[in-house]
Amino acid sequence: MAVSRHYKYMCSEPGQKLIRDDIAELGLDHVVEASCSPKMHEPTFRNAVSAAGMNPYLFEMVNIREHCSWVSEDPEAATRKAKDLIRGGIARAVHHEPLKGSKKSVNPKAMIVGGGIAGITAALKIANAGYQVYMVEREEIIGGKMAQFDKTFPTLDCSGCILTPKTSEVGRHPNIQVLTKSQVMDLTGFVGNFKVRVLQKPRYVRTDKCTGCGDCQQVCPIDIPSPFELGMTTRHPISRPFPQAIPNTYSILREGMPPCQAACPAGVNVQGYMTLTGAGKFVEALALIRERMPFASICGRICVRPCESSCKRGQVDAPTAICHTKRFLGDYEKEHSLYSNPPMKELRDKKVAVIGAGPGGLSAAYYLAIEGYQVTVFEKLPVIGGMLNVGIPDYRLPRQIIDEEVENIRSMNVAFRTGVTFGKDITIDDLEDQGYQAVFLSIGLHVSRRLGIDGESLDGVVGGIDMLRMVALKEDVKVGQNVVVIGGGNVAIDVARTAVRLGAARVDLVCLEARDEMPAWERETHEAIEEGVAIHNSLGPKEFVGQDGKVQGAVFKRCTSVFDENGAFRPTYDENELTELACDTAFVAIGQASESNLLSNLGIELAPGGRIVTDAETLATTRPGLFAGGDCTLGPATFVQAVAQGRQAALAIHNFLEFGGLREVESKERPIDKQLNEAERLRAKPIARNEMPELPPETRTKSFDPIESGFTEDMARSEGQRCLSCGLCCQCGECVRKCGPQAINLNERERIHELEVGAIVVATGVDVFDASKYPEYGYGKYPDVITNLQFERLCNASGPTGGKILRPSDGKVPQNVVFVQCVGSRDRAKGNEYCSKVCCMISAKQLSIFKHHNPHGQAYVFYIDNRAGGKGYEEFLRRAIEHEHAQYIRGRVAKVFQDQGRLVVRGENSLAGAPVEIEADLVVLATGLTPQKDHASIARALNLSTDKYGFFMELHPKLGPAETSLAGIYLAGGAQGPKDIPESVAQGGAAAAEALTLFSVGQVEIDPTVARLDERLCTGCKTCAGLCAYNAISFNEQQKVASINDALCQGCGTCAAACPVAAIGVKHYTPDQIFAQIEGILA
Amino acid sequence: MTDFEPRIIAFLCNWCSYVAADAAGVGRFAQQANVRVIRVFCSGMVDPSYVIKAFASGADGVMVAGCHPGDCHYLAGNIKALRRSFLLRNLLSELGVEKKRFRLAWIAASESPLYAQFVNEFVDEVRELGPYLPPKTKAAKGVA
C-alpha cells in the first residue's frame, strides 16, 4: 500500500486530480477506490486513471454506499462491513492485469417502447435525424393518454388538435415503423447492439388494405364496453377508437379462443353461432357451424356438450344452452327448406373412397366434396349413418333427421354404395385398381364385447350393440318380461331404455361402477330411472344360469373397486357376496370391438387392442394413401370426435393429393382464461337458461317418439343473447363478408418480431389510479361519480356525449359539480404516498371547461394543497377561483352518498374547522397517476429497475433523469414518474438526444472481459463448447483443445465455471482474483 | 450465541441482483450488515470452487443471486447455475457444510425490496445455524 487518501468528493475534478497526481508522483500500479456503486462511477474513475497513464483495468472500485452505509442501521457494523469490502478490493486489485477493450460499431436504429406523447416526441426526433425507428405500442392506436384528453392546461389548447398532427407524422414517417398491439418480450445484447423480441398480437385488419370506411362495424353483432371511452359507451369488437386515430384503420379486439370452442373436439366456433343466433341470423349461424360440423341437427340432439361444461356463463348462473340452440338451427333450416350446398370447388379429376358411412365417414365425404373430390362412400349395412343409425335409438335421434342430412351430402355429388362389406366385397387393392387415389377408413366398432363367463352362450343372452342394431334394422328381437342389462355406459342405458319401450315389465341395469363412477351421461341415466329402469351399482357378473339352454338368471359378485390407484380399469371383487337376478333376457353392453381379422389383413400397423395406428396430425396410416379415423382409431369415441376426425382426414387427404403430404400445421389460437372475470360478469344479460320442452316419462316409454321437442325461435334467440362474448370478437365473419377491400383476416395469429436496435427509449406511460379502492366515494356504485379521465371523455367532441357535459345517470346537464382531489395520491393509508403532480391543474382545467359549457353552474373543489408549480399554472388556477368562481374547500371528503335521489358530498372544511355537505349533480374524482399494470413484466423484459411503486429508476435523480443503469436504454414520460405533457415531451427529447449521441459517436467500447483459455491445461473434454450460448467455443481437432472466438464471446463465464480443470477464466474475473477478494473480505 | 454475527459472501449478477442491491440502497431498504457482495457478470460464472473457497476462508453462508429463469442476460447462464447448484449442495454436505448455508435466488433488477428481504432472512437463518466450523480433516487427526 503506497498511499491511502480520504476525500469527500472523489468523483469531482479535485478528487480525480488527487488520484492522477498520486499515480504520477508515486508511480502507482493499482488503484482502489471505495465510494458509491461502480454502476455509477466506475467509468469516471477508469477514465481518471487512464488519463494518468494507467490501464483502466488496474483500477478496482468498492461499493460502500448503496450496499453498505445506505442500508445499514448500525453504523459500527456498517463500518466493519466497509472495511471488509475494501480489504477484499485491495486483495483483488493486486491480481488485476492490464486489459485493452475493442470497439464495436453501433446499430443506428432505435426502439421506442410506448406510443404516447413522450414516445412520439422521441421517435420523431430520432427519425427526423435520419435514423430508423421502431415504435412498439401495446394498444391498437398510438397517442397514449393524451389522445383521451379534451383540452390541455394552462392554455386550454385542444389536446387532439395538438396531438394528431404528431401522431399522423409518426404514421406516415418513412423512418418510423409502428408495431401496434405489441409488447417487448425480452432483450439480449448490449448498448449499440441489442436484440429485442417483440410479441405482436393480431389486428385482424390489414393496415395496408383497410380504407377506414366503417362498413364492418355496422354489421358487427357484438357490443362491449369501450375501453377507450372508459366504459361510458359501447363499441363493437371491430372498431376504431376515434376518427383521427393512427393507424387510421380498424382493428378487432379478440381475447383469444373462448373455452367453449377450445373444448369442442371439432373446434366449432360456438361463440360465433350463438351470437349470430342471438341476432336472428340463423342461416349465417348454421353456415358457421358447418365450417366444422356438417350435421347441426344431429349434433344438437346427441352431443355430449363439452362446450356447455366449460361455458363461462355457468359461473354466473347456468351455461348457455348451446346444444339445443344448435339443434334449433338445424331444424329451422329443414322446416323452412333453406338448405343449399356450401360453396364447392370445381370438380377435380380425383377419386377418394370412404369406407364406413358413420359420422366420421360422412364428415370426411362432406369436406372432401367441398374440395371438389369425387367421393364414394362404401357401407356394409343396408342403411347409412353407422352408429347414428344402428346404435342410437329413435327416441334420441329420429331416422328422418339422419336421412335428411345424408340427402344433403348426396346432393353434393357424393355416391353411396350400401351392402358392400369391406374386406369381402371390396379390398384396398380393388379400390386402387378402380382409380381411387386415397381411402379413408372409418369402419367403427360394431362388435359387442363378451364377458367371457359361464352361461354367456345361453339362449336369451345378447350383445348390447347387437340388440340396438337389430331394433334399428327392424329385425326380430326377443325381449322378455324380465330384462337384465350389464354395463354402465351410454350403450347400456340406451339398451335398457329400448327394452322398456319394447314392453319389458322389469329392466335391471347392473354395472361395476358406483353411481357416481358410471361412464354413462348423468342426464341419460336420470331419464332411464324416470322411465322405470332399476340401477344396481357395484356388482360384477359371475355367471348366467339357465335351464334347457335358456337363460333364467344372472349371478353377480360384489365389486369392491373398479379402478386401481393409477386410475386404470382393474376391478376387484368380493367373491363371497353374491346377488342373483332372475331374467329371461340379458343384454351385455360392456364395450365395443372391431372386426379384428378384417384389420389385421390390411398390412398396416395396429396398436394392442386392435386399433389402427395413425399420425396424430394427418390421420395417415402406415400405408400411403390410406387414412383412418373415428372409433376404429380412437376406440369408442363420441359423435363429435368422429366428425372432427372426418374433417381432419379430409384436409389431410387434400394436402396429400394436392401437395404430396402435410403442408403447414394450422397454428392454434391461444385459449383464454377459463375463470370468469369481472368484465364478463358485467356483460351477462339477466336471462335465465331456457329449458328444453320434453315428454313426461309415462308418455315417452310407450313409443320411440322423440323425447325432446326442440327450442322455439324466441328461445334460441334469447340463448344466443345469454352468451358472454368471452372472446370479445366472435369471428362470426359478418364483417369479412361486408368488407369491400377484403382487409379482414380472422385467422391472423400472434407473431414474434426479432428486432435489432442500438438504443431503446422506454416511454410506457402511466395508468390511472383505481378509484374503487375508495368505496366511500361510491365510484362504481353511483353512475354520477366519475374519474377525471372519464370527465375528459365527457367534454370531448368524439366522446360518448359528443362533447356535451351530461351526467351519465340521466343525461341531464349538471349544475353542481364537485371535484375531489388526491384520490389515490398523497395517501399512505389507501393510495400512494407520492403526489401525482397533475391533478390540481386537471381539476382547475375541467371546472373551467365545465363553466364554459354551463356558465350558471357551480364548481366545488375539495383539496389538500393546491400545487400549481409550472409556467402559467398558478395564474390559471387563480383564474379558476376568481373568474370561474369555483369554491375551493380545503379538506378531505369523508363520504359520497345518495339522499333523496341526489348525491351528497360530505367532507370537512379544515380551514373553517367545520363539516360541510354539498349536493352534487356530478362528482369528479381527481384520480392519481400510477405505473402501468404491466410495469413488472416490462422491467423484467428489459432488465430495468423500478422504485417501490413501479416507476422505472433513472440513472441519477438529478443528472441522469432520461438514462437508466443499462447503457443504451433511456426513459421518457410518465413511466419514470408522474409528470405532465410538457415535461414528458422534454424528457422524450432528452432520451432522443441520448440515443442520437450514441448513433453519432457510432461505436461503443467492448469490454475486454471475455473468456481466456490456457491451452496447456485444456484436456479437450468439450464441456465448455456445449455450454456456450453464443457458439464462441469451437474445438481445435488438430491440437485437441478448445478455442475461443473473442468476437463472439460475451464474457458470461459459464464455460469458466464448468471447466473441470480450470483451464478457462474470464479476464478480470479470474479465479485467483476472486479467491483473493474472498480471502481479503474474510481476513 | 446471541452476539454471533455471521459473515456471508454474496455473488450477485451484474445485470439484475447487483442492480437490485444498488436500488435497495437508493431506496434505503435496511439490511443487516452481514452480507459482503462480490459482483460477477452472471450467476452462471460462479465456479463451485468460489463457494467452497468462501466457506474454507471462514464464511458462514454463501448466496448466489441471478436473473429469473428466462431472463438471463446471457440467455441461460442462470439455468446452468441452477443445474450446478444441486451437485454443489451435495458436495457441500460432503464437506460438512449444512445445506441451509448456501442459497441460490432469482432477484430481478426491479425487485430491490425482495433483495433486502432475502438478505435479512438469510442472515437470520445463518445466525440461527451458528458459526460454520470446518470439520477436522481425517489426515490431521490421523497423524501419528
CA–CA dist A344, A599 (Å, integer): 34
Q: Which of A701-710, A778-787, B27-36, B59-68 has the lowest mean pLDDT?
A: A701-710
Task: Give percent of chain A with pLDDT exceeding 90.
Answer: 81
Angle of helix A1071-1082 relative to helix B48-56, nearest 10 degrees?
Answer: 30
CA–CA dist A745, A747 (Å, integer): 5
Q: Chain centroid to CA A507: how far?
A: 50
Residue A690 in contact with residue A718, Cβ under 8 Å? yes
Residue B144, min C-alpha distance to chain A (Å): 31
Interface mutation target, options A969, A976, A1028, A1074, chain B, most CBs of B under 10 Å: A1074
Residue A114 in contact with residue A763, Cβ under 8 Å? yes
Name every chain A residue with its beta carbon within 8 A of the beta carbon of B81. 1057
Can you say whether the dihedral through the CA atoms of A1067, A1069, A1074, A1075 is positive or negative?
A: negative
If you average pLDDT over residues A596-615, what whole number do you get?
81
Check CB contact under 8 Å for A945 and B109. yes
For residue B138, what pLDDT band results from cuts at 50, 70 and 90? very low
Check CB contact under 8 Å for B26 and A1051. no
Check CB contact under 8 Å for B22 and A39. yes
pLDDT above 50 for A917:
yes
For residue A700, what pLDDT band results from cuts at 50, 70 and 90? confident
If you average pLDDT over residues A664-669, what whole number do you get?
74
Residue A298 in contact with residue A332, Cβ under 8 Å? no
CA-to-CA separations, A54 to A27, A97, A98, A851, in angstroms, rounded: 10, 11, 9, 69
Residue of A nearest to B107 (CA): A940
Bridge partners of residue A963, in order along the sequence: A970
Report pLDDT for A604.
86
Check CB contact under 8 Å for B57 and A81. no
Report pLDDT for B144.
37
Residue A1034 in contact with residue A1042, Cβ under 8 Å? yes
Question: DSSP assignment of A182-225, as one string?
Answer: EEEEEEEEETTEEEEEEEE---SB-TTT-----HHHHH----EE
- Strand A1003-1006 and strand A929-931: the pairing is unpaired
If you average pLDDT over residues A518-530, what whole number do you get?
91
Q: Which of B109, B128, B82 is nearest to A965 (CA)?
A: B109
Check CB contact under 8 Å for B30 and A71. yes
Within 8 A by CB and 6+ apart from A827, the residues are: A833
Give me the total of CB pairs closer than 8 Å, taking one residue from chain A and one from chain B.
Answer: 173
Name every chain B residue with its beta carbon within 8 A of the beta carbon of A1079. 53, 57
Check CB contact under 8 Å for B20 and A1051. no
pLDDT above 50 for A850:
yes
CA–CA dist A263, A269 (Å, integer): 11
CA–CA dist A354, A414 (Å, integer): 10
Among A71, A1029, A1079, the residue with its CB nearest the CB of B24 is A71
Interface mutation target, options B3, B5, B32, B37, chain A, most CBs of A under 10 Å: B37
For A931, the enclosing helix (H) or strand (E) is: strand A929-931
Residue A690 in contact with residue A320, Cβ under 8 Å? no
CA–CA dist B19, B112 (Å, integer): 8
Report pLDDT for B76.
86
Check CB contact under 8 Å for B33 and A186. no
pLDDT above 50 for A729:
yes
CATH tag for B8-140 (out of 3.30.2310, 3.40.50, 1.10.10, 1.10.3120): 3.40.50
If you average pLDDT over residues A13-38, what whole number do you get?
94
Name every chain B residue with its beta carbon within 8 A of the beta carbon of A1071. 47, 49-50
Residue A753, min C-alpha distance to chain B (Å): 17
Check CB contact under 8 Å for B45 and A944. no
Q: Which of A72-76, A829-833, A1077-1081, B27-31 has the lowest mean pLDDT?
A: A829-833
Classify residue A813 by its DSSP letter. Answer: P
Measured between alpha carbons, how far apart are the two ends of chain A, in Å?
Answer: 17
Name every chain B residue with its beta carbon within 8 A of the beta carbon of A965. 19, 22, 109
Question: DSSP assignment of B63-83, as one string?
Answer: EEEEPPTT-BTTBSHHHHHHH
If you average pLDDT over residues A453-465, what whole number do you get?
92
CA–CA dist A820, A888 (Å, integer): 10
Cell numbers found for residue A888? 375551493
Report pLDDT for A663.
58
Angle of helix A322-335 relative to helix A713-722, nearest 10 degrees?
Answer: 140
Bridge partners of residue A1013, in order along the sequence: A1064
CA–CA dist A1069, A1056 (Å, integer): 10
Report pLDDT for A1032.
87
Query: Is B120 at the interface with chain A, CB within 8 A?
Result: no
Can you say whether the dihedral through the CA atoms of A447, A449, A453, A456 is positive or negative?
A: negative
Q: Chain centroid to CA A536: how far?
A: 46
Length of chain B: 144
Q: Which of A929, A921, A909 is nearest to A786 (CA)?
A: A921
Classify residue A314 by its DSSP letter. Answer: G
CA–CA dist A350, A366 (Å, integer): 15
Residue A107 in contact with residue A84, Cβ under 8 Å? no
pLDDT above 80 for A152:
yes
Residue A79 in contact with residue A1051, Cβ under 8 Å? no
Q: Which of A928, A925, A926, A930 is nearest to A974 (CA)?
A: A930
Name every chain A residue with its beta carbon within 8 A of the beta carbon of B42. 1052-1054
If you average pLDDT over residues A117-133, what whole number do you get?
98
Query: Is B26 at the interface with chain A, CB within 8 A?
Result: yes
Angle of helix A1071-1082 relative to helix A75-93, nearest 10 degrees?
Answer: 150
Cell numbers found for residue A825? 395520491
Check CB contact under 8 Å for A945 and B41. no
Residue bearing cell 451435495: B90
If you average pLDDT over residues A468-473, what whole number do you get?
92
Name every chain A residue with its beta carbon within 8 A of the beta carbon of B54. 1078, 1082
Length of chain A: 1083
For residue B1, what pLDDT band results from cuts at 50, 70 and 90? very low
pLDDT above 80 for A666:
no
Report pLDDT for A121.
98
Residue of B nearest to A87 (CA): B36
Among B53, B57, B75, the residue with its CB nearest the CB of A188 is B75
Q: Using CB atoms within 10 A of its CB, is residue A94 exposed (0-12), middle (13-18) or buried (19+)?
A: middle
Q: Is the bond into A382 cis (omega within 30 degrees of 0)?
A: no
pLDDT above 90 for A21:
yes
Percentage helix, strand, coil, to 5, in chain B? 45, 15, 35
Question: DSSP assignment of A765-786, as one string?
Answer: -EEE--GGG-GGGTBTTBTTEE
Residue of A nearest to B106 (CA): A940
For A654, the enclosing helix (H) or strand (E) is: helix A639-659
Give me the phi and psi of A647, to 5 degrees please.
-70, -40
- Strand A816-823 and strand A858-863: the pairing is parallel
Q: Chain centroid to CA B105: how far?
A: 8
Report pLDDT for A665.
64
Cell numbers found for residue A685? 344479460
DSSP-derived 3-state class of residue A647:
helix
Q: Which of A222-236, A653-667, A964-978, B116-130 has the lowest mean pLDDT?
A: A653-667
Residue B106, min C-alpha distance to chain A (Å): 12
Name every chain A residue with its beta carbon within 8 A of the beta carbon of B76. 1029
Instruction: Give me chain A's average pLDDT, please.
Output: 93
CA–CA dist A719, A322 (Å, integer): 8
Report pLDDT for A652.
93
Check CB contact under 8 Å for A944 and B110. yes
Helices (H), A94-247: 117-128, 159-172, 215-219
Q: Using CB atoms within 10 A of its CB, is residue A475 exposed (0-12), middle (13-18) or buried (19+)?
A: exposed
Interface mutation target, options A1054, A1066, A1067, A1068, chain B, most CBs of B under 10 Å: A1054
Report pLDDT for B75.
77
If you average pLDDT over residues B74-85, what whole number do you get?
90
Cα dihedral B39/B45/B46/B48 (nearest 10) = -170
Q: Which of A291-305, A1041-1055, B51-65 has the lowest mean pLDDT?
A: A1041-1055
Task: Give percent of chain A with pLDDT exceeding 70.
Answer: 99
CA-to-CA separations, A304 to A173, A298, A641, in angstroms, rounded: 55, 12, 10
pLDDT above 80 for A1047:
no
Report pLDDT for A664.
61
B 54-113 residues inside an 8 A Cβ radius of A: 54, 57-59, 67-68, 70-71, 73-77, 80-81, 84, 108-110, 112-113
Q: Kindly provide the ipTM of the predicted complex, given to two decimals.
A: 0.94
For residue A463, what pLDDT band results from cuts at 50, 70 and 90? very high
Which residues in A726-750 are b (16+ Cβ under 10 Å) and which e? bbbbbbbbbbbebbeeebbebebee
Report pLDDT for B140.
44
Interface mutation target, options B7, B11, B26, chain A, most CBs of A under 10 Å: B26
Residue A1057 in contact with residue A61, Cβ under 8 Å? no
For residue A569, what pLDDT band results from cuts at 50, 70 and 90? confident
Measured between alpha carbons, how far apart are the two ends of chain B, in Å?
Answer: 35
Report pLDDT for B139.
46
Among A40, A186, A1030, the residue with its CB nearest the CB of B71 is A186
* pTM for this predicted structure: 0.78
CA–CA dist A634, A808 (Å, integer): 57
Q: Dump pLDDT digits (tens) for A173-200.
A: 999 999 999 999 988 888 999 999 999 9
pLDDT above 50 for B142:
no
